[in-house]
């Protein structure tokens, strides 16, 4: 029943040394993502979601525990991983066109020009931005810029895709479109997705599982299985009774987390 774990996080801990008191941001986080899963992480503000994601991405050194991607330990940014950052405006290279932004990591992988062009075109097609290939990122709206960042991640063909509150800074309409885009790409490409968000609705709507984090120092409060049908629809899914149940369950957990509730004190 259990396929290979795409991402395995065991006992992850991170304490910032700092100048004064050391700050314990993450304490003993354990979870695993099976191949092809879409898992969302929610937690109260200041739960260390970004710290967790930066550790998983290999951008931040951990102070304890293990992270492995496809069985190999993560010590730096691993090859099979792509990250979509929240700050879309700051993660795209403003001096490169959309096409060159998507292409740059592929050049570094050593792909031939023809392969690169094909992959870039396909990726831009899949996010509906073929026509903007020669524009610069700053000429596009926020939602379109985040699509470029997604296209860059898709073209990179990672086995695990990390998304750090990618839609926190776009308007509600665009956000719904982008959520559906992520679901669509995930189902088509079979990629494993770890999606960090502070939005409970978004987490329940997108995920197959939702990991609810405690407040700092962070541990997993509960692993909620989202038993909604695979075909999700902004209108139908969000008005389904089961959606409302799951949503209020997660909401309740977040409230508990905010009050400092922890699993060992349950």
Partner 1 sequence: MTTAPALTAAPGAGRWRRPALGLLGAVVEALPRLAIVDERFLPPFSTMARALKGQLAVAEFWTALGQTLRGWALGLAIAMLAGIAAGVVIGSVPALRAVTASTIEFLRPIPSVALIPLVVLVYGSRPQSALVLVVYAAFWQVLVQVLYGVADVDPVIRDTARSYRFSRWAVVRTVVWPTAMPYVVTGFRLAAAVALILEITAELIIGVPGLGRSIGVAQSSGAVAQTYALVIVVGLVGVAVNASARSVERRALRWHTSVRRDL
Partner 2 sequence: MIRRALVALGLPAVLIVLWWLLSANSTSFFWPPLSDIVAAFPRTWTADPIRNDVLPSLARLAAGYLTALVAGVAAGTAIGSSRTLRSLAEPALEFLRAVPPPVLIPVIALFAGYTGWTAKVIAIALGCVWPILLNTVEGVRSLDEVLRDTARSYRLGRSATLRHVVLRGSSPLIATGARQALSIGVILMVVSELFGANRGLGAAIVQFQRGFAIPQMWTGIVLLGLLGVTLSGLFRLVEHRYLAWYRGLRQAERGV
Q: Is position 138 an interface residue for partner 1 (rule: CB under 8 A)?
A: no
The position carrying tokens 């329940």 is 204
Comparing CB distances to partner 1, the nearer of 15 and 117 is 15
Q: Which of 12, 47, 155, 212 binds partner 1 (CB under 8 A)?
A: 47
> Which residue stretch of 27-35, 49-57, 126-134, 241-249 sits at the interface with partner 1 (rule: CB under 8 A)?
49-57
> Which residue stretch of 11-19, 137-145, 202-210, 240-248 sits at the interface with partner 1 (rule: CB under 8 A)?
11-19
Q: Report the first-to-last Cα separation within the chain, whole angstroms.
A: 30
What gap in Å lies between CA 56 and CA 50, rounded to an integer? 10
Q: Which of 2, 4, 45, 265 binds partner 1 (CB under 8 A)?
A: 45
Site for partner 2 in 85-144 (CB under 8 A): 85, 87, 90-91, 93-96, 104-105, 107-108, 136, 138-139
Residue 100, exposed/middle/buried by CB under 10 A (0-12, 13-18, 19+)?
A: middle
Q: Is position 20 an interface residue for partner 1 (rule: CB under 8 A)?
A: no
Q: Is position 58 an interface residue for partner 1 (rule: CB under 8 A)?
A: no
Give the one entry of partner 2, partner 1, none that residue 19 binds, where binding means its C-beta sits below a cut-off of 5 to 8 angstroms depending on kind: partner 1
Residue 66: strand, helix, or coil: strand
């Amino acid at each position: 029943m259990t396929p290979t774990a795409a991402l395995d996080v065991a006992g992850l801990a991170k304490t910032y040394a700092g100048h004064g008191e050391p700050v314990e941001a993450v304490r003993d986080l354990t979870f695993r993502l099976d191949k092809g899963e879409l898992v969302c992480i929610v937690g109260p503000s200041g739960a260390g979601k970004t710290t967790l994601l930066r550790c998983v991405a290999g951008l931040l050194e951990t102070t304890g525990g293990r992270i492995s991607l496809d069985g190999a330990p993560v010590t730096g940014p691993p090859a099979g991983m792509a990250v979509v950052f929240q700050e879309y405006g700051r993660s795209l290279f403003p001096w490169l066109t959309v096409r060159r932004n998507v292409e740059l990591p592929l050049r570094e992988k050593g792909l031939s020009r023809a392969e690169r062009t094909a992959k870039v075109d396909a990726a831009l097609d899949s996010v509906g931005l073929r026509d903007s290939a020669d524009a610069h990122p700053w000429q596009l709206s926020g939602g379109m810029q985040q699509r470029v960042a997604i296209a860059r991640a898709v073209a990179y063909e990672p086995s695990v895709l990390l998304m750090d509150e990618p839609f926190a800074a776009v308007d509600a309409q665009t956000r719904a479109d982008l959520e559906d885009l992520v679901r669509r790409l995930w189902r088509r490409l079979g990629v494993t997705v770890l999606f960090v968000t502070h939005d409970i609705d978004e987490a329940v709507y997108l995920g197959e599982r939702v990991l609810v984090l405690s407040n700092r120092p962070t541990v997993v409060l509960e692993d909620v299985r989202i038993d909604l049908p695979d075909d999700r629809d902004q209108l139908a899914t969000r008005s389904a009774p089961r959606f409302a149940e799951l949503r209020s369950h997660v909401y309740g957990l977040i409230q508990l987390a905010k009050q400092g509730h922890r699993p060992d004190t349950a």
